[in-house]
Amino acid sequence: MADSVSGQTVVDPKGYLTSLGSVRVSSAAEVSDIKKARTLLRSVTSTNPKHAPGWVAAARLEEVAGALPEARRLASKGCELCPGSEDVWLEAARLQANMASSRSVLARGVASLPRSVRLWLQAARLEAPDAAAQSRVLRKALERVPDSVRLWKAAVELAPEADARVLLARAVECCPQHTELWLALARLETYANAQKVLNRARLAVPTDRAIWIAAAKLEEAAGKTGTVPRIIGRGLSSLVTNGVETDREAWLAEAEAAEKATPPYPATCAAIVEAVVGSGVEEEDRERTWLADAAEASGRGSAATARAILAAATAAFPAKEGVWRRAAELERTSGDAGALDALLRRAVTYCPQVREKWRGDGKKRGRRKKRRGGPVFCGEGRAPIPSYPPSAAAGDFQRVPVHSGPPPRDIKRENCERSINRPGGEPKPTAVTHNPRTVGALDRDKGKSLSSPFPSLCNTRARTYTGRSAVADGGQGKVDRGRRARRPASAGGSIRGQP
């Protein structure tokens, strides 16, 4: 706000609002509380001047009250009286008005506490964004504190790749018990040197599973996926020998991490699952536990881990249709058509009783693929699903014959034949009552002799049946419409002229 020559008041709206934002309005209660706290902290620092938290609290109280010069004075006095406290030096450096003053305070602090990692790291942060100056501060800190993992990590992050390799080589010598440094060095080395580094790490830290998992990932990255299961198996045996308990959940979490890594390591994931999926699980609980683990892994987006768990389940329970269905559902949602087709073919070799149902599922999928113009699988344009497993030479399976039971019984026909052969020779009337022609023929034969078991044959005016009667045919009531019964030649005459 300013006055012009003409006497009018000119107001800068932006500056005015900014100045209002910096004004702190304290109520009477707040002022009273600050006074009480100031009195209390003055008593603390006067009765126990070597108590560093009292000086830090007094400096922060003055900062809240808006008295920054007094806060700096109290922090500096605390540094003089408590030179062995990291918190007092850090608080004094934070309250300084400029970077130069902060550097000066931290320089005096690291002189008093040369092995304070926090002071060295704060001094390095003050040199940002000059990476060279930060590296100089960290190298000087490593000369004083060579066994600090935090300092080594900070120095490696700022160094280029060539210098980082040299720094890590020195770091693993100074801190041989820290696995992270070994793994970082192995990532920067070539394949052959990385193997040597991991072997040294295995000897230095024999109880950490991360080293064995890193070795498996190294082999998979080199294209040697066949050695990955062997490395994981050796790692488990070595850890058990060194007294490490196999934590099944932790290993499965490592498998999911290997699947989701960049780049992913599916072979390592499958090898870990195969090695630990049955660890600590009772025999009767295996199916339920494995299916639950697969569902949880699939829900977290770890399809490869769930696939490996279901592969172990299908290998342990090949005759369980439900296990195959869960595996097929996973392939249908997260896999491709080729993997699903191969899984269905394996399923029908072990569960031939549901072969037609699996075949129908495959044909439906094949029709959908055909409508979309994609490749067709499982019965549409490809070889049909076999009705029995292939030979041992072709697919390493035993030949299992398809079950062929007795033919289905025709209960209705058996009952009809039983009624014909019973004493008396009269068939059950219900056997032919469903045929209107048969019913009419039986009504016209009332009062006539039933010496024949087929009364309708005695009707001279009705069309006769063939050699097998309606009763013998199981009540079907078949009528011979193309031929009339003829009288024997010895009797003469025709049927129509018979008395």
Q: Which residues contact 164 (CB under 8 A, 6 or more apart)?
A: 156, 188
Give me 173's structure tokens.
């010598």
Whether 55 contacts 88, CB under 8 Å = yes
Q: Cis omega (within 30 of 0) on the bond before 263?
A: yes
Per-residue 3-state assignment (H helix, E strand, C coil) for 131-173 = HHHHHHHHHHHHHHCCCCHHHHHHHHHHCCHHHHHHHHHHHHH
pTM, two decimal places = 0.64
Q: List the structure tokens of 50.
A: 């070597």
How many angstroms separate the CA atoms of 227 and 218, rounded? 10
**Are the C-beta atoms of residues 355 and 386 closer than 8 Å to each other?**
no
Q: What structural domains does the chain harbor?
A: 29-113 (1.25.40.10), 123-205 (1.25.40), 420-484 (no CATH)
CA distance 42 to 58: 8
Contact 371, 365 (CB under 8 A): no
**Could you read off the pLDDT tens digit of each residue along the chain, which spans 499 residues?**
444 445 454 545 555 445 545 445 456 566 678 888 888 888 989 999 999 999 999 999 999 888 899 999 999 999 999 999 999 999 999 999 899 999 999 999 999 999 999 999 999 999 888 899 999 999 999 999 999 999 999 999 999 988 999 999 999 999 999 999 999 999 999 999 999 999 999 999 999 999 999 999 999 999 999 999 999 999 999 999 999 999 999 999 999 999 999 999 999 999 999 999 998 889 889 999 999 999 999 999 999 999 999 999 999 999 888 899 999 999 988 888 888 888 888 888 888 776 656 655 555 555 555 455 544 434 343 434 344 344 333 344 343 444 445 555 566 666 656 655 555 544 444 444 444 444 444 444 444 443 434 444 344 443 433 444 444 444 444 444 444 444 444 444 444 444 3
